Amino acid sequence: TRTSRPQRILKAVQKNATKGDPESVISAIDHYCRHKEWAMNVGDDKGLILDSVLTEVNPSTALELGTYCGYSTVRIARLLSPGSKLITVEFNPAFAAVARQIIAYAGLQDKITLVEGPSGDLIPKMKERFGIKSFDFVFLDHWKDRYEPDTKLLEDCGLLKKGTVLLADNVICPGTPEYLKYVRNSPRYESRYYKSNLEYSKVEDGLEKSVFLG
């Protein structure tokens, strides 16, 4: 097909959402992906859990691994307090380009830093490049086999502090078995599963919230 799925999602946002209104951007993407073509956004069902965890944590510095089209990026940034920052990491330039436009359309570019490149290379540079001491909140939604190694990398780079909340998408579908085993068995995390369903579907999926205990 001439355009990519992310480009079609961007077009749906430009057609149906109101510039500068993040809620309308989120609704436009959810409507398009529910009624026109499915896409792997965290979606509106799991999105409500993401919203409630974010409101509880109220992070000053947040990290997202796996931007894709920027749906959860907008979902997270719209709830951040003034002066708070979200860094989102995406290694596919084409997806990053679409996400930048969706983030700009929502008017949230001042709260978001989209960094292009693989998480494994970027995580060790977070302190020196972005002056990050530690993250209050991390949303994991990239390749599922990378959740566990990247969590260990965040620990090793001293980017987690006592109370940091990790929220992981897709722990049931497609599943992140190694990650679940790690955070549920490690004495350094207090984990809880939030049952929901896969985006725009009836299949079960859920989010795992893990608090780093230091």
Ligand X SMILES: CCCNc1ncnc2c1ncn2[C@@H]1O[C@H](/C=C/CNC(=O)c2cc(-c3ccc(F)cc3)cc(O)c2O)[C@H](C)[C@H]1O
Q: Is there a catalytic annotation at residue 51?
A: no
Binding segment for Mg ion (CB under 5 A), chosen from 49-57, 119-127, 134-142, 171-179, is 134-142
Q: Which does 149 bind (CB under 5 to 8 A by kind): Mg ion, ligand X, none?
A: none
Question: Which CB sits closer to ligand X, 18 or 173?
Answer: 173
| Active-site option among 169, 205, 208, 209 | 169
Binding segment for ligand X (CB under 6 A), chosen from 15-23, 49-57, 84-92, 186-194, is 84-92
Give the chain as a 3 state SS string.
CCCCHHHHHHHHHHHHCCCCCHHHHHHHHHHHHHHCCCCCCCHHHHHHHHHHHHHHHCCCEEEEECCCCCHHHHHHHCCCCCCCEEEEEECCHHHHHHHHHHHHHHCCCCCEEEEECCHHHHHHHHHHHHCCCCEEEEEECCCHHHHHHHHHHHHHCCCEEEEEEEEECCHHHHHCHHHHHHHHHCCCEEEEEEEEECCCCCCEEEEEEEEECC
Q: Is residue 169 a contact residue for Mg ion (CB under 5 A)?
A: yes
d(CA 212, CA 187): 9
With CB under 5 A as the contact rule, the residue among 73, 170, 196, 210 that binds Mg ion is: 170
User: Minimal distance in Å, beta carbon 94 to ligand X?
Assistant: 9
- Identify residues 109-168 at the interface with ligand X (CB under 6 A): 118-120, 141-143, 146
User: Minimal distance in Å, beta carbon 143 to Mg ion?
Assistant: 10
Question: Which CB sits closer to Mg ion, 61 or 176?
Answer: 176
Structure-token match 């490690």, residue found: 186
Q: Is there a catalytic annotation at residue 169?
A: yes
Q: Which does 89 bind (CB under 5 to 8 A by kind): Mg ion, ligand X, none?
A: ligand X
First to last CA, the chain: 49
Q: Is there a catalytic annotation at residue 85?
A: no
Q: Is residue 44 a contact residue for Mg ion (CB under 5 A)?
A: no
User: Minimal distance in Å, beta carbon 65 to ligand X?
Assistant: 6
Question: Which CB sits closer to ligand X, 107 or 194?
Answer: 194
Closest CA to 69 of 35, 118, 32, 20: 32
Q: Which residues bind ligand X (CB under 6 A)?
A: 40, 66, 68, 89-92, 95, 118-120, 141-143, 146, 169-170, 173-174, 198-199
Positions marked catalytic? 141, 144, 169-170, 199
